[in-house]
A and B are shown apart, each in its own frame.
Chain A
Amino acid sequence: MSVTIRNQVIKILLLGIFDVFAVQFAVALGSRISIILGLGIAVFTIVINVVFLSDRLYPWRWIVPALAGMFLLVVYPIGYSMVVAFTNYGDGHLLAKEQVIAQKLADLYQPSDAKTYSVTVFRNAANEFRYWLVDEDGNAFIHRPGEPGIVPVAPDDPAYGERDENGVPTSLDGFVPLERAALLQSATTLQNLVIEAPPNEIRVTNISPLRGIQAQELTPRWSYDPATDTLTNVETGTVYRSERGNFVTGEGESREVLQPGFPAFIGFDNFLRVLNDARIRDPFWRVFLWTVVFAAGSVFLTLGLGLAFAMLLNSRDLPLKPFFRSILIIPYAVPGWLVVTTWRGLLNPAYGPVNLTLENLLNTQIDWFSNATLVKIAILFVNMYLGFPYMMLISLGALQSIPGDMYEAATIDGANGRQQFRWITLPMLLVALAPLLVASFAFNFNNFTVIELFNNGGPPMSAATVAGHSDILLSYTFRLAFSGARGTDYGFAAAIGIFIFFIVGPITYFNFRLTRQFEEAAA
């Protein structure tokens, strides 16, 4: 009994330590960065505490650590994407609205009557500064930080002692001119220098070790009115209203849009676009069919080849078994897209070594990239090459889990090898592998890297259709979202992601139900 108490104490202590960190993290995150994220972590801290303190929820203790990670790092991003899907976030709408306003308010211009100065910077040992400004007409001024504005200096004012050929004193209030090499090190100070010169302000606009320092009288070009949510161009008087993530003025032909824009909620527009866009709708069923064929075909082929190798390897007296196994895993160890690109070269209709061999055998040139059917065969083949080691590995694992006495019983009953495979190996394997095959199907459903890299979704169906013959749903819709006339459109891409989620999700669910039947049949 004392062991149990000790264990309880240890558990609660560990939980306490975890809680201290988790709460600190949640509070810091919630108060400073993102309330939603902070709340999420807080909720999870509570869930973990409840799970570890309640006996009834014991089985969850084993799962909760993995679930916590999944919620933070998978579910939260999905939730975020769902929010983004209702906005026009993307090229042209990247900055937050406050950032856009801040950027506009920081945009200064030089009114026609305003002056430009060349500046000499003086510094003392305490790293304090004095500025000597000379305007275009040669009039000199002094600015002392802490004192407002600039003070004019008479050209021959003896108070400033010795002057150089430009009339600039050699020292000022005991400060010495900043040497050239140190000029740029003071760039931050100069950048932040604002000298009042109503109605304008003087700002340093250029620092050059060779040309010296230039300052200009500037004034803000824009003013923002939070009450009406409008930006006004002070120079021209034009008023811009906020509309769907941009400040705009005018209507119809004279409508003018101010850049940059900001993300704005646009309701269901992205979703409606997925439904209504003829470029998505027209080729949809054709592409959908091929997507399913591609995903299912990839699973079938990779499993077929992988299982075949696993069966070949799964023999007691096979020599060099570790060697074969290591070689056969190598295609999986090489980065996938490097392999795809290599296969593209190998299958090049005129120069690819594989194609040249085929040409000799069949006496005809096969253009894998231009023919709608051939390209599909080639892609399935390449994907088989990429994926069979995975299936081989998991089949090897699963084969070992089949109890040996089942075969023995079968042998005694007189079953031959083929019968054993059909009635023992395959059903047992499918039970173990079915969920993985479902996952593999879902993965390939969205495997746009292979599609894009192998033939960019081509060959094209027509010049007007965005989808090509080898395009899957994700690849051609992403092409619209990432290289449309607006450039990258994350909001649209997120909406596409959600649609695909609602297409593959049910398929996965259905497949999963099937696996359950397997499981029950086997049990």
Chain B
Amino acid sequence: MNKSSRLVLVLALLALLAVTSMAQVVLAQEATAEATEAPTPVPTPTFAPSVEGTLTIWADEERTPAIEAAGAAFTEEYGIPVQIQQMGFGDIRNNLVLGGPAGNGPDILIGAHDWLGQLYAGGLLAPIELPEDLAAKFNPLALQAFTYEGQLYGLPYALEAIAIFYNTDLVETVPDTWDETIELAQQLVADGKAERGIAIPVGAGGDPYHHYPLFTGFGSYVFGRDEEGSYNPEDVGLDNEGGIAAMNELDRLVKAGVLTSATDYGAAQTLFQDGKLAMWITGPWAIGTLEESGVPFAVAPIPTMEDTPRPFMGAQGFMVNSFSKNLLLAQAFLTEFVATDEVMQLIYEANPRPPAWLPLAEQIDDPNIQAFTEVTTHADPMPAIPQMAAVWDAWGRAILLVYQQDSNTTPEEAIKQAAEAIREQIASSSGS
């Protein structure tokens, strides 16, 4: 091929390019012009985040079946398509943080109340207006949990807190006091009836969540509260006298072999299912698998230490994405449809947890759920303020050091160091 014919071809190519690019610029401008004139997006078949006139809901695997049934009923009644997208519980939050601002969020998401701080500060939630007569039908604790800066950001459907699951073959009733309970646990092991008497789950991160009742039982707290009940991030109470007492108690129990870091959540669950563990401190999420395993069990509140132990209370509920194109519709879906006996019942059946809907809570005769409902009434709402993120890590490390019987640090030093680290971290981030 000679040079000139090649040159001709290259020139032709360039000309073609010039024409197409110019056409493209013109088309692009027209397209943007059209886009501003007609903002109604066409629903695409595959992916339709918050499309006008359609509700998109993000739910986790446990809630999806119930929400799906509710959504179908809603579509049936009002002719509004409802699309459910299932994702991992934690992914719901992460995906909203990433996709919400770009317009890829849902209309409604299902989540936990302790996400509020993060999502509120991100500008990702729209407030929910709840008429007073409806508000009266909700557990006030649950509504309080979903209230942030004076406004409601979530419609709760369930509450949860931890208590003691006990094997009724091994334990008749859980004693009234913690000391008696520990003695019972030791007795059961000594008699060879159980491999372990009592277990608190300890993960690789220490699992402060499951150890919180021990701290409150001795008079400690995470954040102090003001008159209105809001948490004050500048008042960290983990290393007060109660906190030190709790750490010493933990130390005593580990030394006595009553508690061990070998019982992480999975190990404790298996032991309990196999009848080798007499008492297990955890929450209502375990009910399902325990029932399936056939082990006879009942639920009791964690017995009194120096004070009545208060576990963390978590509320689950529906939140509305502030970038939803259907704010009114989402609001109506929640207040007119979800907040009804039928739908609350549906959600409860799919995933039995203490309901936040009082008419339903009164009807429930499942003794385990009743016990958990009782526990939630004297629980502390898990702090939803963003500073809580700084607490888990350091606190968990202090707990782990006790389990490991670290020779360099006494339990008291551990919790003091942890609390100091938490204070420092909160102080250093308050500027930004």
Looking at the complex, which of B294-302, B322-330, B357-365 is the stretch in contact with chain A? B322-330
Interface of B is mostly: helix
B17 within 8 A of A: yes
Q: Which of A24, A185, A279, A460 contacts B80 (CB 8 A)?
A: A185
Interface residues on B, range: 35 or more
Residues of A within 8 A of B79 (CB): 181-182, 184-185
Q: Is B293 an interface residue (CB 8 A)?
A: no
The answer to whether B262 and A348 touch across the interface, beta carbons within 8 angstroms, is: yes
CB distance from A80 to the nearest CB of B (A): 14
Given contacts A94-B101, A185-B80, A485-B387, contact A460 B131 (CB under 8 A): no
Determine whether the beta carbon of B398 is less than 8 Å from that of A463. yes
> Which of the residues A103, A245, A370, A463 comes within 8 Å of B322, measured between beta carbons?
A103
Q: Max chain A CB contacts within 10 Å: which of B20, B80, B420?
A: B20
Q: Tell me whether B48 is interfacial, beta carbon within 8 Å.
A: no
With A32-B32, A184-B78, A460-B397 as contacts: A19 and B425 at CB distance below 8 Å: no
Assess A487 versus B13: contact at CB under 8 Å? Given A20-B20, A345-B266, A463-B409: no
- A261–B386 Cα distance when bound, in Å, is 14
Measured between beta carbons, the chain B residues less than 8 angstroms from A487 are 117-118, 121, 386, 389
Encoded as 1 (CB less than 8 Å from any A CB) or 0, chain B from 392 to 432 comes to: 11100110110110101100011111101100011011101
B306 within 8 A of A: no
Chain B, 16-70, CB within 8 A of any chain A CB = 16-17, 20-21, 24-25, 28-29, 31-32, 52-53
Nearest B residue (CB) for A349: B262
Q: Mark A178-209, 1 if CB is under 8 A from B, else 0.
A: 00011111011011000000000000111111
Partner of B203, one of A260, A456, A484: A456
Inter-chain contacts of A49 with B (CB < 8 A): 13
Q: How many residues of A contact B (CB 8 A)?
A: 77
A88 near B417 with CB under 8 A, answer no
- Docked-complex contact B387 and A191, CB < 8 angstroms: no
**Contact bitstring B225-264, A, C-beta under 8 A = 1, else 0:** 0000000000000000000000000000000000011111
From known contacts A99-B123, A460-B397, A485-B387, infer whether A191 and B328 are also in contact, taking CB-CB under 8 Å. Answer: yes
Interface of A, helix, strand, loop or mixed by DSSP: mixed
Partner of A485, one of B204, B328, B426: B426
Do the beta carbons of B124 and A94 come within 8 Å of each other? yes
**Nearest neighbor of A208 in chain B, beta-carbon distance:** B336
For A462-491 the 0/1 string (1 means CB < 8 A from B) is 111110100000000001000111111000
Residues of B within 8 Å of A96, CB to CB, are 101
Asked if A449 is at the interface of the complex by the 8 Å CB criterion, the answer is no
Cβ of B290 under 8 Å from chain A = no
Distance from A109 Cβ to chain B, minimum over Cβ atoms (Å): 12
Nearest A residue to B123, CB-CB: A260
Within 8 Å of chain B (Cβ to Cβ): is A135? no
A32-B32, A464-B417 are known contacts. Are A191 and B24 too (CB-CB below 8 A)? no
Given A351-B271, A463-B417: A99 and B101 interface contact (C-beta under 8 Å): yes
Interface residues of B in 96-146 (CB under 8 A from A): 97, 100-101, 117-118, 120-124, 129, 131
Contacts of A409 in B (CB 8 A): none
Inter-subunit contact A260/B121 (CB<8 Å) = yes
Which residues of B approach A to under 8 Å, CB–CB? 1, 5-6, 9-10, 12-13, 16-17, 20-21, 24-25, 28-29, 31-32, 52-53, 77-80, 97, 100-101, 117-118, 120-124, 129, 131, 203-205, 260-264, 266-267, 270-271, 322, 325-329, 331-332, 335-336, 386-387, 389-390, 392-394, 397-398, 400-401, 403-404, 406, 408-409, 413-418, 420-421, 425-426, 428-430, 432
